[in-house]
């Protein structure tokens, strides 16, 4: 059994375009106390016309197993390869991207 994680993304989002037309990879990054304020910034604008990493003062770390980066100072990050896509059904107009977790990184804050 392979480890997987699912990301639900609305077709109207720039992230959707990146996932369907770009590298078939994504990362999941769980913010730490150092990065939690960045969520308000990154969640309030589109990455299509704005460098959200710069606006939120986030540093990226090149992926070790993917072409997409992780975010520095997160407590947990997963590098994933898309292995399946499907529609979420009638409750929401999202596509589900199922990713095989290729690598996982955890902060010392949560490893005890």
Asked if residues 108 and 76 have their Cβ atoms less than 8 Å apart, the reply is no
**Local confidence band at 112 (pLDDT 50, 70, 90 cut-offs):** low
Which of the two residues, 45 and 96, has the higher pLDDT score? 96
Range 13-27 average pLDDT: 94
- pTM, whole model, 2 decimals? 0.88
User: Once rounded to an integer, what is the mean pLDDT over residues 30-55?
Assistant: 83
61 and 73 Cβ atoms separated by less than 8 Å: no
Average pLDDT, the chain: 90
Domain range summary for the chain, segments of one domain joined by +: 4-106
Query: Is 86 a residue whose pLDDT tops 90?
Result: yes
pLDDT per position as a tens digit, 58-72 = 999 999 999 999 999
CATH topology for 4-106 is: Pnp Oxidase; Chain A (2.30.110)
Bigger pLDDT: 46 or 87? 87
Q: How far apart are CA 69 and CA 93, in angstroms?
A: 27
């Amino acid at each position: 059994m392979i480890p997987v994680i699912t990301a639900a993304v609305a077709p109207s989002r720039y992230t959707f375009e990146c996932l369907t037309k770009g590298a078939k990879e994504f990362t999941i990054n769980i913010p730490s106390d150092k990065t939690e304020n960045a969520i308000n910034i990154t969640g309030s604008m589109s990455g299509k016309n704005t460098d959200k990493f710069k606006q939120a003062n986030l540093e990226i770390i090149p992926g070790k197993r993917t072409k997409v980066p992780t975010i520095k100072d997160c407590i947990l990050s997963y590098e994933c390869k898309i292995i399946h896509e499907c529609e979420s059904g009638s409750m929401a107009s999202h596509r589900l991207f199922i990713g095989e977790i290729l690598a996982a990184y955890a902060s010392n804050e949560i490893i005890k």
